Structure formats: C-alpha cells, structure tokens
Amino acid sequence: MQKIKRHHEPVNHKASKKLKLVTDEEKEEDAEDETHFHEFDNPVPWQKIEAEGLDCDYALLFSKEEADILFSKLEEEVVYVTGEEAQVQVFGKVYNIPRKQATYGDAGLTYTYSGVKRLACPWTPTLEHIREVVTKNTGQTFNFVLVNRYKDGLDHMGEHRDDEKELDPLCPIASVSLGAARDFIFRHRDSRGKHSHQNFEPVKLELAHGSLLLMNSPTNKFWYHSLPIRKKVTLPRINLTFRRIVMSGKKEHQIN
C-alpha cells in the first residue's frame, strides 16, 4: 500500500498564498497581484496521495448533511442517457455501460468516451453549485462534468485513463463522490497484464460520501484507475468528474 500524507494547505500555490496570515507589506504586494484568490476562505484538510508518476489530493469537501442533500437533489435533476447512448463499443462489440451516465457542461462542449461522442447538457443548479465549491477550494476552473451513477456494488467502471485529447492535460480531474463509499484503484501502466515489466504496488483508496479526489498531472499519463465490483455494497453512489475541455485538444483553444 502507498503512503497517504495529511497536509492542511490548499492544493495550489495561488491559494496557499492567500491562506497564510499576511503582513501589511504583503497585502500591498497582493493588491498589485492580479492572481489573488480571496475566496479561498474555507480550506479543507487535504491528504496527499503520492506514488511514482501519481499525484492526488483527497479531502472531505461536504459534511454528511450537505452531501445527503446534494445526493437527493442530483437524483431529481440529472437525466441519464438511455438506449444506444447508454452503450459503448469495445473492439467492435457493443456493451451496455454497467452504470448510468450523463454529461453536463458549457454550451456546445462535447466529450468522446470509448468511441461515443456526448454533447453536454446545460448545467443544473446543483451541478453548478458543486462546481463552484470545487473551484473555490482548488483554484481550478472546469467547463464539463461526467456524471456516473452506480445503483449498487454490481455497477462498476473498468480500468482506464482519463487522457482523451479534448482534456486540458495540465488541469486536474476533480472527482466528487456522493452516496455509498466505494473502493477506487489505481494501477501503473507498466504493472498491467501478464507481461508487465515493472512491479508497482496498486494504490487503493476508499472514496467517501462528500469527498473530493483531485487527480493531478501527470497521474493520468502513468496510472489507470477503476471502480471495481463490490457485491457487499447495496446502496447507490453518484460520482461527478469535473474536467476542463479544450475545444480541439490544443491548449490555445481553451474555452473557460
């Protein structure tokens, strides 16, 4: 197992600059600095999760009461895709996705996932609210969210990397979990399959109700992740992965 270090600073440098006690001199300097983030007034205790090529931050972002309300609101608001849209093609074969999925985001954005192109629906009030809280606590902006709903522990997500060309590779993927706690496993790309030539230990986490996992660059280059079947889990879970999509896969076309 990998070591998880606790740290109590916000996750980016712009933010940490604002969260320490500042002297008057520093305040004057800050007044000239356009990149200050006074809204970082609600720091959460982050845990650092690190391994070779893996850099994540984990925090409980919402209290149980807040997370319960958000879960119920999302159950009312989110409309999941059905029919052919709820299927994927892998090596030419069509499969039903073993969970429900929906995509929301800024107007006109699309995201291609396992060969399927999805158009973003307009933000719902609750998704917009959660996006704002994530931005406040990370300093990162997001223009898209992939929603996955797992009815119980039989619903799952196979091993993959979030390395699609539309994603800004330097923007972390912010994964908010609501509902049943589920195991989440990272596996290094060189430790997969029979012919793996390296022996990296997998990194295993439990994603709690109300938590936020930030997958920072270069995690998605080197590590695959999955949400395996857990037969003992009987309750549903909703996961939101906030992403920053760039129009053509090139940074200069960034939308947000």
Residues that bind ligand AKG (CB under 6 A): 146, 148, 157, 162, 175, 184, 207, 225, 227, 239, 241
Q: Report in angstroms how near the CB of residue 22 gets to ligand AKG at its nearest.
A: 37
| CB 44, min distance to ligand AKG, A | 18
Min CB(182)–ligand AKG separation in Å: 7
What is the sign, positive or negative, of the torsion defined by CA atoms of 94, 237, 158, 213? positive
Which residue, 37 or 80, is less far from ligand AKG as judged by CB? 80
Nearest to ligand AKG of 19, 185 (CB atom): 185
Q: Least distance (Å) from ligand AKG to the CB of residue 241?
A: 4
Nearer to ligand AKG, 12 or 219 (CB): 219
Distance CA 61, CA 75 (A): 19
91 is in an annotated binding site: yes
Nearer to ligand AKG by C-beta: 37 or 113?
A: 113
Residue nearest to ligand AKG (CB): 239
Query: Which residues define the annotated binding site?
Result: 91-93, 111-113, 148, 150, 160, 163, 225, 237, 241, 243
Query: Which residues define the annotated binding site for 2-oxoglutarate?
Result: 148, 150, 160, 225, 237, 241, 243
